[in-house]
Amino acid sequence: MSDDTLDVLLIEDDPGDARLVKKMLDNAETDLRRIDLDGSSPTQSAVHHESTLTAGVDRLSERAVDVILLDLELPDSTVFDTLVSVVDAAELTPVVVLTGPDDRDLGIQTIQHGARDYLVKDEVTGGLLVHSIQYAIEQSRQERERIRQRERLEAFNRLYRINQDVIHALITESTREDLERAVCERLVEPDAYDFAWMGDLDHSADRFSRRESAPADCGFDVAAIPSDGETDGERPEAEAVRTREVQVVEDIETAPGFDQCREQMRTCGYRTMVAIPVAYGNICYGVLAVYDESPNAFVHTDRENLSRLGAIIGHAITAVERKDALTSDTMLQLTFSRDGETDDLVTASADGWTLEFEHLIQTDPGILAYGSAEGGSKKELAEVVGRSTLVKDLRILSPEAETYEVELTMNWGETLIPALAKHGFLVTEVTIADGEFQFVVEVPPGRDKHRLVELVQDHYADATLRAQWTVSRDEPAIADFHSAFENQLTEKQRAVLKTAFHAGYFDWPRKSTGEEVADLLGVTQATFSEHFRGAERTLFEAVFETTAGDGTVPASPWDPSNSNGDQG
């Protein structure tokens, strides 16, 4: 069909009547412009004439039209059989019946059986014909809209029920495995869909790995399909993980690309699918993929609600893993070295001096690194830093001594550190010594260390894993308080506090002013103060509102009458 052409299928066995209809439409170009074809107005008509019911139905199966003009008296069918056959084949394409002068009552009955309007042949004029077509098309459009609204409401209600059941399942499950299994099982209940799986990309094999799925006996092999589809474009599941956006394939038979995916879905009887990223904060836990045999099963499903489902699951996984982390006594750490790093700062360290950094903060100007220097003078370090491409700026934070505190604004790690954080990994230490550049990454419980190695080598091809070991955690009470406080801070408050602390803002005398800390963060003094005050309040609430109290005011430690007071 064309936007400027009204496509008409005329099923009429009388050649004279057929010629008359064509002539009326050819002479009605001005009247045609009143017809609304989904936002466009036709300027001409194209009449496709068939003289039998069989030929007319065959034509409908081959090509869509805007309206059908139907004579009920055809040589290969009778009255209502003719109408029923055409209405069934036409689906929502409007049908206008053409009757003889003595068939007015029959015309009214045809409307009750699915026709949109009827015309008496001997009374038809060009204007009346166009008006009837316009009316039929508008009635059909309104019915399609009512169907869409009903399907949209049904899809919303179905997804709402699923979301509520999933939330209940997430509350009751205590492990990630059980949680993901419960989600998949709920998604294939009778009121939902046909198949669901949760998993992630195995980057080493460029394939998907499936953690959980339902039903268990489904023959859909996720691992058999490459993530990029090789020659037919990126898989929707891979695109969902990469973009963090819901991907919908409305009908695999008409969607471009996905050749391998299409063949496997056909084998299993699926026509449509949706890929939902499972993420919370900066961490992506993989993808939830759902399939159904009904074409367009997800067309009327709000992508925002689908995205919310992925966020709910991601939040639940985060809660489970945080609980596991808090109850775990150990933490895995991996040490990497960059064998191909020839920066002046690294090569100069072979002369016997060392830089160690245990606090790294991501800011707009770069990565702030706080630590110590040993084995070389401040002047020597400043000269080397001036030639280095790894470092943008240097500040000395303590007096000259064998070991002194330093602050570096680094070019290194600007893309690696946020990429690692996105997957829950944390760079905890950087060391430049003996002509080598090394860094340590902490792996939380439940995270895939192989994925960590891949991420590091994606950013620095010369990076080599040197060692891994398990370290003991802090005392449980300290860890619990630290986690609770950290969870209450915003990302900006956390960055402000860490930078202020390690830059010596809290020291006496101060090593950095508020203005200097704001410059380090690349923000204004007012913005720094806003987030600093918010972080302070959060800290004080964590300290004072969690302590037992009866509402009394504690005695002043400077009160001379207080025997425990500090007299200093």
CB 391 within 8 A of CB 408: yes
Query: Does residue 380 sit in the same domain as residue 424?
Result: yes
The answer to whether the beta carbons of residues 252 and 236 sit under 8 Å apart is no
- Is residue 205 in a domain? yes
Sign for the CA dihedral angle at 52, 56, 59, 61 comes to negative
The model carries a pTM of 0.55
Nearest-angstrom CA–CA distance, 546 and 533: 19
Q: Please write the tens of the pLDDT for every residue from 489-542.
A: 788 888 888 888 888 888 888 888 989 888 888 889 899 898 888 888 888 776
Query: Into how many domains does the chain fold?
Result: 4
Q: Which of 336, 338, 251, 256 is nearest to 297 (CA)?
A: 251
End-to-end CA distance of the chain: 92
Contacts of 334 (CB under 8 A, 6+ apart): 440, 441, 443, 449, 452, 453, 465, 467, 468
Instruction: Name the pLDDT band for 251 (thresholds 50, 70, 90).
Output: confident
Question: pLDDT (tens digit, 9 = 90+) per residue, 274-287?
Answer: 999 998 877 888 89
Same domain membership, residue 496 and residue 372 = no
pLDDT tens column, 194-235: 999 998 877 666 777 888 999 977 778 777 656 554 445 677
- The CATH number that applies at residue 204 is 3.30.450.40
Q: What is the pLDDT of residues 358-401, one digit of tens each?
A: 889 888 878 899 999 998 888 889 999 999 999 989 999 887 67
Does residue 298 sit in the same domain as residue 185?
yes
**Last-in-domain residue among 293, 325, 357:** 325
133 belongs to a structural domain: yes
Domain-embedded: residue 121: yes
CB 186 within 8 A of CB 271: no
- Asked whether 354 and 425 are in contact (CB, 8 A), the reply is no
- Domain holding 235, by residue range, is 173-325
Task: Judge contact between 59 and 50, C-beta under 8 A.
Answer: yes
Q: Tell me, yes or no, whether 179 and 317 share the same domain.
A: yes
